[in-house]
Amino acid sequence: MVTISHLQEWKREQFKFASITAYDATFARLFSKNGVKVILVGDSLGMTIQGHNSTLPVILNDMVYHIRCVRQGAPSCFLLADLPFMTYATPSQAFENAAKLMRAGANMVKLEGGGAWLADTIRNLVMRSIPVCGHLGLTPQSVNMLGGYKVQGKNMNDAEQLLADAHILAKAGMQLLVLECVPSKLAEQVTSELTIPIIGIGAGSKTDGQILVMQDVLGITEDINMPTFAKNFLASEGNIPAAVRCYIQEVESGQFPALEHSF
């Protein structure tokens, strides 16, 4: 069984780990069998599974259903699960909803956003034995505030704010952090300043781990939706198990992400 202690050890040993999203038992089993140790049941399922143009329509019961499916397929993977939009607006709401994700089989809940307003929520969850992963940078649940899916932390003020937020959340008890679509230099700084493992997506090669949406790894996102930071590993490998092993190997060896996948 993979636990948060393994991720902490990987950070100490500078072992770069690859993680991926999954939403059902079949893919979860295939990923686990081919070497994936960390799976995210992301609210990206609103787009990849449900066909919406954002993650906002996803509700808690959708997450519960997909977490149960993934847990069936990957009993020994470390399972991260997203708290969807507006399910953690207050500490008590977060506590009640996070408990449902943990009961469904998650090992840790992920919530988006930074700063002081989330610190209380994180403290509250951690005190009640619910481990928390943060998510900073491009936070898709805030797409309407951000004005689109754009790289974040590009100017000095925004970068300093993100760094400060990361420290606040870590101090509140966050044990893992996803950094999405930020300049590589900023991701590198966050990774070196924080003692918790940092997982990057569109955040360059210097984070402790990487994550990609499974549809991007397999190149089955329509061309128009394929993010520039992602890579289709199926194209060169020809079959899904080999594509997954290739993704893991390229992350572990530092080959992926390359400069062309970074900002």
Residues carrying an active site annotation: 180
Alpha helices in the chain (DSSP H): 4-12, 25-33, 45-48, 60-73, 91-104, 116-127, 143-146, 156-172, 184-193, 214-217, 234-237, 240-252
CA neighbor of 147 nearest in space, from 222, 212, 54:
54
Q: Least distance (Å) from ligand KIV to the CB of residue 178?
A: 5
Site residues (CB under 6 A) for ligand KIV, limited to 74-113: 82
Residue 204 within binding range of ligand KIV, rule CB under 6 A: no
CA neighbor of 114 nearest in space, from 162, 42, 151:
162
CA distances from 202 to 68, 135, 194, 254 (A): 28, 13, 19, 14
Residue 211 within binding range of ligand KIV, rule CB under 6 A: yes
Contact 118, 169 (CB under 8 A): yes
Site residues (CB under 6 A) for ligand KIV, limited to 41-60: 42-44
Size of the residue set binding ligand KIV (CB under 6 A): 11
Q: Least distance (Å) from ligand KIV to the CB of residue 202?
A: 9
Residue 221 within binding range of ligand KIV, rule CB under 6 A: no
- Which residue of this chain has its Cβ atom nearest to ligand KIV in the complex? 42
Indicate which single residue of 122, 213, 218, 251 sits in contact with ligand KIV (rule: CB under 6 A): 213
Residue 215 within binding range of ligand KIV, rule CB under 6 A: no
CA neighbor of 219 nearest in space, from 183, 246, 253:
246
Q: Least distance (Å) from ligand KIV to the CB of residue 182?
A: 12
Binding site for ligand KIV (CB under 6 A): 21, 40, 42-44, 82, 178, 180, 201, 211, 213
